[in-house]
Chain A
Amino acid sequence: MRCWLMATRFTEKELPRSPSRERGIKIMSESETIQRQRAAAMRTVWILAGVALLVYFGFIASGVMAR
């Protein structure tokens, strides 16, 4: 199984150069890598925080409706 977004951890230093260039893959700079990783982490956070809030208010709403 491949890690999703794993490619974001590759930096210019580590990727094998010639095969990537041949395949036309854009190699990201260190700062681009960090930016993308941070954006992916923030997406995960907002989704999970949304789930937690949904469960919290959902349970209270179901309690209200049961009344």
Chain B
Amino acid sequence: MATTHADHHDDHHDHKPSGFFQRWVLSTNHKDIGTLYLVFALIMFLVGGAMALIIRAELFQPGLQLVDPEFFNQMTTMHALVMIFGAVMPAFVGLANWMVPLMIGAPDMALPRMNNWSFWIMPFAFGLLLLTLFVPGGGPAGGWTLYPPLSLQGGNNVAMTIFAIHMMGVSSIMGAINIIATILNMRAPGMDLLKMPIFVWAWLITAFLLIAVMPVLAGAVTMLLTDKFFLTSFFNAAGGGDPVMFQHIFWFFGHPEVYIMILPAFGVVSEIIPTFARKPLFGYQAMVYATASIAFLSFIVWAHHMFTVGMPMGGELFFMYATMLIAVPTGVKVFNWVSTIWKGSMTFETPMLFALGFVVLFTIGGFSGLMLAIVPADFQYHDTYFVVAHFHYVLVTGAVFSIMAAAYFWLPKWTGHMYNETLGKWHFWLSAISVNVLFFPQHFLGLAGMPRRIPDYNVAFADFNMISTIGGFAFGFSQLLFVYIVWQTARGGQKATAGVWEGAKGLEWTVPSPAPHHTFSTPPVIDDAMLAHGNTVH
């Protein structure tokens, strides 16, 4: 693999700040802040996972076994908030921090100090959110969707939760602004927009989504706050307000939020599959346009989450067809991944296994999403375990699997060491089998009529719940293997080369492993041969 002249320059100027506080708390380095995001996301993944295990333990058998219903509701609410805002989103922001500047040949993010601030808001936001579990009345229990009037019936937790959400929003918006400013202004000469890696494209589009919808969530929860403490009655029917309006505003944020969590995953998988298929990505430009189309469509489908509130037939039809339309660009992506694999010289290292697992299992989640888009069917499926199965296939075997794939793919670049491939494969197979044992039976539970967010259920649902819980614990404990592999790789192991993978292409693979503290201080001179998409005709 060709190297840039910047490597030698960087080798001699790898000055990390000395001292823990200087290096990690005051850091303005994109790699260190990326590491902070990823470590934070891993901790939140374990916290949110522990909450999921409490939920699954309670549901192991019918009847109330371990926790009281109020605490169960707090667990379902907090599990979602922690996993969405604390684990999946920060993990992708961490990946963006680490990889976007390396992929476009930039020396750092455009605004390094704001980058530091974006990260350090997060621990305080989640500290505040988790503290609600210890205040009188406990944490929020009305579901992550915070629908009024239920969400306003909480005790002291309401103000704390809303303030925590505001802080998460500020962090996300600042991170998104930084990513856009970096991609638009800091690309190395020759790194045209349509030569950028797909991961960078996916993040550019995701960042625009974040800026468009996080303020909507902030506005919605601000109105909730004033309803609770200043009696404004935005959503209070007794005061002339409309609780359904909250649902519209929430889902105007909430549906694009789903794509905020999945578009970067598409980007990751689009980097990994060509590497291990040893072929260029099939249909590069189609992938870019498909990502943009999905982002656009995400703004016009929000009401499919609330068909059952009652809306005019025309509205139901519009949102049904608009939702189904998303299958077209998503199908383009799946087709292109499969076409990239086709006749490729494939090997199945752990990142590739997770990426292929993503393609198969995410597609299952996509298909059940299509089922939910059908209005008359949705009246049956709404608020059942079918919905729970659907979005966990999208978010766990979709987003989380892609994060795992990304971690294995780039870990040698981050640490300078190869991970233990045997353990990595064990991690994949344990996760892939257990996650299906966990979530697949939930489709049947939902179709049989088991509602979501309940701690007790009819004995008719006992068998599938027991299977699901066994799968849940197996999946949960399998992730401890991942923690061990990351720890082991960070501490040492076989030295990684700059290129790491035989089929790897792109600027990030031209710098040594581990990537020096400062890279591309002088813009690299790029020739198309070193880029994954450099020879794309456009």
How far is the CB of B212 from the nearest CB of chain A, in Å? 7
Asked if A23 CB lies within 8 Å of chain B CBs, one says no
A14-B523 contact, Cβ under 8 Å, with A3-B191, A37-B185, A41-B185:
yes
Q: Any chain B CB within 8 A of the CB of A9?
A: yes
Interface of A is mostly: helix
CA of A30 to CA of B212 in the docked complex: distance in angstroms? 35
Contact A55 B181 (CB under 8 A): no
A66 pairs with B184, CB closer than 8 A: no
- State in angstroms the CA–CA spacing of A34 and B215 once bound together: 31
Interface segment, one of B27-35, B217-225, B452-460, B491-499: B217-225
> Which residues on A sit within 8 Å (CB–CB) of B178?
45
Interface extent on A, as a size class? 20 to 34
Q: Take A14-B525, A41-B110, A44-B181 as given contacts and tell me if A59 and B189 are in contact as well, using a CB distance cutoff of 8 Å.
A: no
- Chain B positions within 8 Å of A66 at CB level: 242, 245
Question: Could you say which of B177, B245, B525, B538 has the most chain A C-beta atoms within 10 Å of its C-beta?
Answer: B177
- Bound together, the chains give a CA A45 to CA B189 distance in angstroms of 21
| Contacts of A1-15 to chain B: CB distance below 8 A | 1-11, 13-14
Chain A residue contacts of B308, Cβ below 8 A: none
Proximity bits, A39-51, B CB within 8 Å = 1, else 0: 0110011001101
Judging by beta carbons under 8 Å apart, are A3 and B193 in contact?
Answer: yes
Least Cβ–Cβ distance between A1 and chain B, in angstroms: 5
Complex contacts, B191 vs chain A, CB 8 Å = 3
Q: Mark B379-417, 1 if CB is under 8 A from A, else 0.
A: 000000000000000000000000000000000000000
Please determine whether A52 and B211 come into contact, CB atoms closer than 8 angstroms: yes
Contact of A56 among B176, B189, B194, B219 (CB under 8 A): B219
In the docked arrangement, what's the CA distance between A45 and B186, Å? 13
A6 touches B218 (CB 8 A): no
Given contacts A14-B523, A52-B173, A67-B233, contact A9 B188 (CB under 8 A): yes
CA distance A9 to B218 in the complex (A): 37
Q: Tell me if B187 is interfacial: C-beta within 8 Å of chain A.
A: yes
| Cβ-defined contact, B177 with A45, below 8 A | yes
Known: A45-B177, A45-B181. A60 touches B219 (CB 8 A): yes
A-B contact sample (6 more), CB < 8 A, given A48-B181, A57-B219: A3-B187, A6-B189, A14-B523, A44-B177, A63-B249, A66-B245
A-B contact pairs, 19 of them (CB 8 A): A5-B184, A6-B189, A9-B188, A40-B185, A41-B110, A41-B181, A41-B186, A45-B110, A45-B181, A52-B211, A52-B214, A55-B215, A56-B218, A56-B219, A59-B216, A63-B249, A66-B245, A67-B233, A67-B234
Chain B residues near A (Cβ < 8 Å): 110-111, 114, 173, 176-178, 180-182, 184-189, 191-194, 211-212, 214-216, 218-220, 222-223, 232-234, 240-242, 245, 249, 522-523, 525, 538
Residues of A within 8 A of B (CB): 1-11, 13-14, 37, 40-41, 44-45, 48-49, 51-53, 55-60, 63, 66-67
